[in-house]
């Protein structure tokens, strides 16, 4: 049964699933992938990869560590408006290299936040 929620405001939540295979974002859209949301929406990323690395949304200062073959859920609010790059940084596979050093990678997608 559905009851009216008069006087209660509900924040919109958007869920996005990121699947990376061999350091490539898998999606059905013509590249680059564009994720469009409205300012102040609650965002949930569900991320999996067959290789370890980090998903970055640099303008927001977000760096999400993703272990190999594990689901990672990351939640945040879309505060700043604009078009921002989402980048996947694969973990350096060289065992002798510093584990904190990530390889450079081009944008995997764009996160576009529009004013309400």
Lowest-pLDDT range, 23-27, 81-85, 93-97, 108-112? 93-97
The count of other CB atoms within 10 Å of the CB of residue 45 is 22
> Reduced to 3 states, what is the DSSP secondary structure of residue 68?
coil
Backbone phi and psi for residue 59, each to the nearest 5 degrees, phi listed first = -65, -25
Sign of CA dihedral 24, 20, 44, 101: negative
| Residue of 95 and 43 predicted with greater confidence | 43
pLDDT, mean over the chain? 83
Return the higher-pLDDT residue of 100 and 17. Answer: 17
**pLDDT over 90 at 106, yes or no:** no
CATH number assigned to the domain covering 13-114:
2.60.40.420
CB-based contacts of 114: which residues, under 8 Å, 6+ apart?
36, 37, 38, 39, 81
Three-state secondary structure call for residue 71? coil
User: pLDDT: is 3 or 41 the higher one?
Assistant: 41
- The answer, yes or no, to whether residue 13 has pLDDT greater than 80, is yes
pLDDT band at 2 (very low <50, low <70, confident <90, very high): very low
Confidence of residue 4 (pLDDT cuts 50, 70, 90): very low
Confidence (pLDDT) at 105: 62
Half-sphere exposure of 90 (CA within 13 A, CB side): 16
**C-alpha distances out from residue 109 to 11, 16, 57, Å:** 24, 12, 10
- pLDDT tens, position by position, 29-77: 777 889 999 999 999 999 999 999 999 998 999 999 999 999 999 999 9
What residue ranges do the domains of the chain occupy? 13-114
């Amino acid at each position: 049964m559905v009851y009216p929620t008069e006087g209660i405001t509900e924040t919109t939540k958007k869920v996005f699933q990121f699947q990376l295979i061999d350091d490539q974002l898998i999606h059905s859209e013509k590249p680059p992938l564009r994720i469009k949301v409205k300012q102040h929406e609650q965002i949930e990323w569900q991320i999996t990869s067959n290789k370890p690395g980090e998903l970055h949304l640099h303008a927001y200062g977000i760096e999400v560590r993703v272990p190999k073959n594990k689901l990672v859920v990351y939640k945040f609010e879309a505060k700043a408006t604009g078009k921002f790059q989402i980048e996947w940084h694969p973990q350096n596979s060289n065992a002798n290299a510093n584990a904190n050093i990530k390889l450079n990678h081009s944008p995997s997608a764009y996160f576009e936040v529009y004013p309400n």
